[in-house]
Chains A and B, each alone.
Chain A
Amino acid sequence: MSRPPWEGWAPPPPPPPRHTGLIVGMAFLGLVLYSVVNVVSFLAVVNVLTNHPAMPATYAVILAVGALGGGALLLLLRRPWAKGLGLGLMIGWALWSIFSAGICTGLNPSIYA
């Protein structure tokens, strides 16, 4: 009786482990983290808006760069926790932008007035 042709070969490598639960959990944490930063910094910025007309634009850019740029950098780390956190920061920025139409993202300074 002949041996099967695959006998003696190394078994195929196992599939890479998935970290979906960790990534989703960290994404939720990133969403909460961004929301806290957004609200706290909004309250801080409102107090100085009247003295600094350029503040809303600067504030919007800082938030966008922090969330999108920071999120992208975290994704580049290629660690599950960093990937989830980065995605969460980006989702947080997008949701606050869409939900509030700018009221808490620095996008509509006329509302603050």
Chain B
Amino acid sequence: MVPVLRLWGFEVPTHDFFVGLGVLAGAFMFFVEARRRGALREESLVAVTGALVGGAIGMRLSGWVEHLDPALNPGILDAWMFGARSVLGGLTGAYAGVLIAKRLIGYREKTGDLFAPAVALGMAIGRVGCLLTEAPGRPTTLPWGIHAPPTVPECPGCLAGQAMHPSFVYEIAFQLAAFAALIWIRSRVTRPGELFTLYVAAYAIFRFLVEFVRANETVWLDLTRPQWFLIPGLVLVAFRLRHGHRHGFYDRLLRKGEGTQAPSARLGADHS
């Protein structure tokens, strides 16, 4: 565990350093993608502002709704001051922030495709901070299990000296693979917003599964809070993917009907 980094004579909290580095890398990737798509406009800056402000608020306030029983949750000021730094809370807040910002300026274009590779890259880097500071995962007998010192907070496996799943390594590998896949398929998914939909779907499925080896507390039916949060999201994502598949949004990606047009494209041709 490396709770503090020494950089140019200063002590920097490791977790926060990598979160910051991830945000910077994500911002750079957003800029590159926006330039590639010809979307370097003030509306994109407004969307980024919405994402950052919404993400900062969401990651803080996720602790405010930690328990179903409101009496067990901290007050809004306590949650704000001492709240958990939840990635799911941050992503949800960022999504809501972009929607609100776009609504405020009356911008109707889809911007999710600009964010998808940026979020994947930023998350891959940010999770390095989690790997170096937080409880790695649940105990395992697999040969790649890792150990962590007993001083790590909220880590029974660390206290017992057991080998544990390197769950953050799994997530870093997933995010890097997702980033590479998004770069590879971005020219094949031409329907605006669908690249973001595919990334969100993939991450929701992965996150639900990886929670089975994360060190998070299980609250009901052996499922963790993030898993309960994700269940309705997975249902929505399944309906959304089915809708996209039936309307041919992914035909080029799946190499279906090569030489023919997707239903949506035919529909567009009929109207022209």
Question: Across the interface, which residues of B come within 8 angstroms of A83, CB to CB?
Answer: 42
Q: Shortest Cβ distance from A37 into chain B, in angstroms? A: 17
Question: Across the interface, which residues of B come within 8 angstroms of A60, CB to CB?
Answer: 80-81
Using known A-B contacts A18-B41, A87-B46, determine if residue A98 contacts B56 with beta carbons closer than 8 Å.
yes
A19 to B45, CA, bound (A): 12
A101 to B49, CA, bound (A): 18
Main secondary structure, interface of B, reads helix
Chain A interface residue count, CB cutoff 8 Å, equals: 29
Please tell me if the beta carbons of B23 and A98 are within 8 angstroms of each other in the complex: yes
In the complex, per-residue mask of A9-36: 1 if CB is within 8 Å of any chain B CB, else 0: 0000000001110011001000000000
Question: Across the interface, which residues of B come within 8 angstroms of A23, CB to CB?
Answer: 42, 45
Q: Which residues, 10 to 24 on B, are CB-close (under 8 Å) to A? A: 13, 15-16, 19-20, 23
Q: Shortest Cβ distance from A24 into chain B, in angstroms? A: 6
Question: Across the interface, which residues of B come within 8 angstroms of A110, CB to CB?
Answer: 82
Please tell me if the beta carbons of A68 and B53 are within 8 angstroms of each other in the complex: yes
A23 to B48, CA, bound (A): 13
In the complex, per-residue mask of B71-96: 1 if CB is within 8 Å of any chain A CB, else 0: 00000010011100100000000000
Chain B interface residue count, CB cutoff 8 Å, equals: 25
| A82, CB-defined interface residue at 8 Å | no
Please tell me if the beta carbons of B23 and A99 are within 8 angstroms of each other in the complex: yes
Kindly identify which residue among B16, B46, B77 contacts A57, using a CB–CB cutoff of 8 Å: B77
A19 to B42, CA, bound (A): 8
Question: Across the interface, which residues of A come within 8 angstroms of B15, CB to CB?
Answer: 101
Q: Which residues, 75 to 113 on A, are CB-close (under 8 Å) to B? A: 75, 83, 87, 90-91, 93-95, 97-103, 107-110
Closest B residue to A86 using CB positions: B49
Please tell me if the beta carbons of A107 and B52 are within 8 angstroms of each other in the complex: no
Pull 19 A–B residue pairs with CB atoms less than 8 Å apart, ordered by A.
Answer: A19-B42, A20-B40, A20-B42, A56-B81, A60-B81, A87-B49, A90-B53, A91-B48, A93-B53, A95-B23, A98-B55, A99-B16, A99-B20, A99-B23, A101-B15, A103-B13, A107-B60, A108-B81, A110-B82
Could you list which residues of chain B lie within 8 angstroms of chain A, going by C-beta atoms?
A: 13, 15-16, 19-20, 23, 40-42, 45-46, 48-49, 52-53, 55-56, 59-60, 77, 80-82, 85, 104
The 3 closest A-B pairs by CB, nearest first: A94-B52, A99-B20, A97-B56
